[in-house]
Chain A
Amino acid sequence: MASTRDIRRRIKSVKNTRQITKAMELVAASKMKKAQQAALAGRAYSQLLADMLAALASRIDESHHSFLVRRETKVRGILLITTDKGLCGPLNANLFKVVSEIHTPAKFVVFGRKGAQFLARTRRDLLADFPLHDRVPFSEVRVAVEFMMQKYLDGEIDTVEVVYPRFKNTLVQEPICRPVLPLQSLRQFLDGRESGTAAVAARADDREMLIEPSPTQVLDALLPYYVNRQIHQLALSAKASEHSARMVAMKTAKDNATTLLGNLTLQYNKARQAAITQEILEIAAAQFATA
């Protein structure tokens, strides 16, 4: 049996760990709340934006904008949204699993250090990695998205897809790969969207739509903007997932530490009692011998 001093030392270290994980849990919880709010607040906006684009696309020839034309996919362009820091449970590992299943040629752009490390380790074609702060500022996302759009227009990549942890709820984050460009399936995408009742009611209005200054001009402004916003929304969702996953992981760690602490305390008390009993026995024996 370990000596009482050893056990005491272990108890101390476990207590420290518990305190740290508890603090991290609280930090993650407050960040999570903010991130979730941000993700939800942006949802109305991106939905409306998609609605507009859909309304526009159904009234205009789809073939003249390069974002709308599907071409043969030789090289996929994938934006991987990961975290900078670890300690967030299986979040990143799940994303990497999705990436590992990609066997066709692909080029990567990455948010977050973990993803960059993974891609370097697995020797994949990493075009660039971008930093992403906790608040997910639009300007940071835009830099990366613009970079990808440029590559797309140059023909270096033939699709733009985003691999990210979709935020379902605090306990469940689902790693998915979501195609963003080309938007050629706009109409399909529109049908999925029709379920929104407001949109259906509005579409009952079938008069000719006036588009000012001109359909092409509006489309040119709306499309890149839409892609930016869309990916920004995904990044927000990824951040909410990150903080949720971290909070859950830290909570589990804290609970484990508490259980461990209980066991150790029990062990310590047993050892202490055994030592005392031993001592009494020795004294009694010594007295017995001298008497």
Chain B
Amino acid sequence: MPLTLEIVTPEARVYSDTVESVVIPTVEGEIGILPGHIPLLTQVNEGELRVAKDGRTVLLAVAGGFVQVEGDRVSVLAEYAVREEAIDEVTVEKAIQRAKEALQQAPTLEAAEVERLEGIVRFSVAQLALKKRKH
């Protein structure tokens, strides 16, 4: 029985399909999930998420969130998630630039804002790394 994978961000459902396996970056390191995995709940780190379906691999960049495996249903809740083909290096680099500039004034910013900006930087870097690896 194949896995049912669902990747949801606050803005949209990014991915929803039945797949053969998925590799997820978690706080404890990368984990691969195949059908019949034991129930699991853990936190997601920023990084690349690999989905195997029909012999092809779909890559996504994700950041911040949680993953739950229950039965053959894998749900990924991510703050950010984007498919590899949707990543635009130029905009991502600009985003990093902007976030870093904003971080220059770190002492005047609120802690939550700093956290958010750092999250953006980490996610952007993860996106770039994914894009580079692909080419």
For A, the interface residue count at a CB cutoff of 8 angstroms equals: 33
Given A45-B77, A212-B26, are A202 and B70 neighbors across the interface (CB < 8 Å)? yes
* Contact among A49, A202, A203, A209 with B40 in the assembled complex (CB-CB below 8 Å): A209
Contact A48 B42 (CB under 8 A): no
Nearest B residue (CB) for A46: B10
**Given the complex, which residues of A lie within 8 Å of B71, measured CB to CB?**
201-202, 204-205
Closest CB of chain A to B66's CB: distance in Å? Answer: 6
Contact B77 A55 (CB under 8 A): no
For B, the interface residue count at a CB cutoff of 8 angstroms equals: 27
**Given the complex, which residues of A lie within 8 Å of B75, measured CB to CB?**
48, 51-52
Given A139-B116, A212-B28, A229-B10, are A205 and B39 neighbors across the interface (CB < 8 Å)? yes
Q: How many A-B residue pairs have CB under 8 A?
A: 85
Contact A201 B41 (CB under 8 A): no
Residue-wise interface mask of A (51-63) relative to B, using a CB-CB cutoff of 8 A (1 in contact, 0 not): 1100110000000
Closest CB of chain B to A47's CB: distance in Å? Answer: 9
Contact A45 B41 (CB under 8 A): no
**Given the complex, which residues of B lie within 8 Å of A203, measured CB to CB?**
70
Give Cα distance in the complex from A138 to B41, angstroms: 24
Nearest B residue (CB) for A225: B66
Residue-wise interface mask of B (31-59) relative to A, using a CB-CB cutoff of 8 A (1 in contact, 0 not): 00000001111110000000000000000
* Contact among B8, B10, B38, B41 with A55 in the assembled complex (CB-CB below 8 Å): B41
Interface flag for B112 (CB, 8 Å): yes
Interface flag for A1 (CB, 8 Å): no
Residue-wise interface mask of B (107-118) relative to A, using a CB-CB cutoff of 8 A (1 in contact, 0 not): 000101100100
> Which chain A residues have a beta carbon within 8 Å of chain B's beta carbons?
41-42, 44-45, 48-49, 51-52, 55-56, 138-139, 142-143, 146, 198, 201-205, 207-213, 218, 221-222, 229, 232
* Contact among B9, B12, B41, B113 with A209 in the assembled complex (CB-CB below 8 Å): B41
Interface flag for B68 (CB, 8 Å): yes
Give Cα distance in the complex from A41 to B10, angstroms: 7
Contact B42 A212 (CB under 8 A): yes
Give Cα distance in the complex from A91 to B38, angstroms: 49
Beyond A211-B40, A212-B27, A221-B43, 18 additional pairs, beta carbon < 8 A: A41-B11, A41-B12, A49-B77, A51-B75, A52-B41, A55-B70, A139-B113, A139-B116, A143-B110, A143-B112, A198-B73, A205-B70, A208-B38, A208-B39, A209-B70, A213-B27, A221-B66, A229-B10
